[in-house]
Chains A and B, each alone.
Chain A
């Protein structure tokens, strides 16, 4: 018997809201969470546009001693996971704990702790803090969430740069479909608004000088944000049996690789990945489809993704709505697909399609309906979340009304 996977809860930390409700509110109003700021460690500092999460210090204090001493990436993952589990109304008894997977990825891991350790070693001739290893390992967010909630099913981290969260969601769903778990806590977190990481990103010369302008002719790069996006996934019959509020069904998932280049995206790779994700999904009316684009606001991604959407949907591409919410929350790198999955599911629930803000100069190479600058109200039955990572690793999740 086929085991379907549904979404019963979600949690968000993002630059436009540190919980799912304020994130969704920010999306519908086109709120921008990107601002130019100084990111520093001691005397070293870099000033760039970035998306900082709202103040969550008090909530981090409330997480208890183990998490207070953890890296920010684990703290944000835990806050989002706590929210998602509460949203799902999931009661984790012993039996559920054994059957709950915890797949939480990160593009980098505990970057702030890396920065601190190297600063101490190289600038101060001091040893790194003894918790450094436990703070920086990329599985730390998954471990902290698993320990906090006593989850004892399959648990690990996925690292596929900007596709980490979408891969985590899709692989977790496959684990549930395959029968190794009945419930999953899945997504990713990223906390790289640190001096060292931003110097490295800046060296690539692909960061926006002021803000992120996806699909706009005057776009000039991405803006990095921080946060976490976590879903609670559940086998459909189990969710129904406990009377859970089913938010969406995970209707399809695709993952592949371009196998071509570390940085230049491939139209074929992206299109094949979308086709794979949509292969079992029935679409009667393309105007009820929403695509939350990868939409980084870089010179290469946006026209390549546009062509891939045309290749995938053919004539239907002109009827559907595409938007890049990165214009508001910035690029959360590994965590991007987590918060963007919530943005996609949200359109199924509310019929409010978040806009692509800062789209003020049409580009003939980007010729779809991107919901420029204002939200669109429309019934959505199928919501697609695209993630195309550095290194040519693609993941696409498709959600439909349950």
Chain B
């Protein structure tokens, strides 16, 4: 687990209104109860809390193939590296 994975999980958990227990990498994104705009809020909080830039345009679809929280975390980490 990379050092930013845990804070990413915590931020995602705050938005996961559909969950009754904390999300893990294996949790399906469909179970989080979030909509596409929640991704924008999650990215804002990632930038604020971690002091990083996440280049992201909500009109594009860089998360198109994601199915689990693990996929979302990997995609965020890839964007942060860019």
Contact = CB atoms under 8 A, between A and B. Distances in A.
A136 to B, nearest CB: 16
A151 to B, nearest CB: 21
Contact of A131 (B17, B41, B43, B48): B41
Nearest to A69: B41
A130 B17 contact: no
Q: Which of A65, A126, A129, A130 has the most CB of B within 10 A?
A: A130
Interface in A21-65: 65
A127 B17 contact: no
Contacts of B47: 127
Contacts of B41: 129-131
Taking residues whose C-beta sits less than 8 angstroms from the other chain, chain B's interface range is under 10
B22 to A, nearest CB: 17
B48 A126 contact: yes
Interface in B28-49: 37, 40-41, 43-44, 47-48
A130 B48 contact: no
A131 B41 CA distance: 8
A132 to B, nearest CB: 10
Contacts of B37: 130
B59 to A, nearest CB: 14
Contacts of B43: 130
Interface string A118-143: 00000000110111000000000000
A131 B37 CA distance: 9
B77 to A, nearest CB: 20
A341 to B, nearest CB: 35
Nearest to A64: B17
A131 B45 CA distance: 12
A65 B19 CA distance: 13
Contacts of A127: 44, 47
A127 B53 CA distance: 12
Given A129-B44, A130-B44, 10 more contacts: A65-B17, A126-B48, A127-B44, A127-B47, A129-B41, A130-B37, A130-B40, A130-B41, A130-B43, A131-B41
Shortest beta-carbon contacts, A-B, top 9: A65-B17, A130-B40, A130-B44, A130-B41, A129-B44, A131-B41, A126-B48, A127-B44, A127-B47
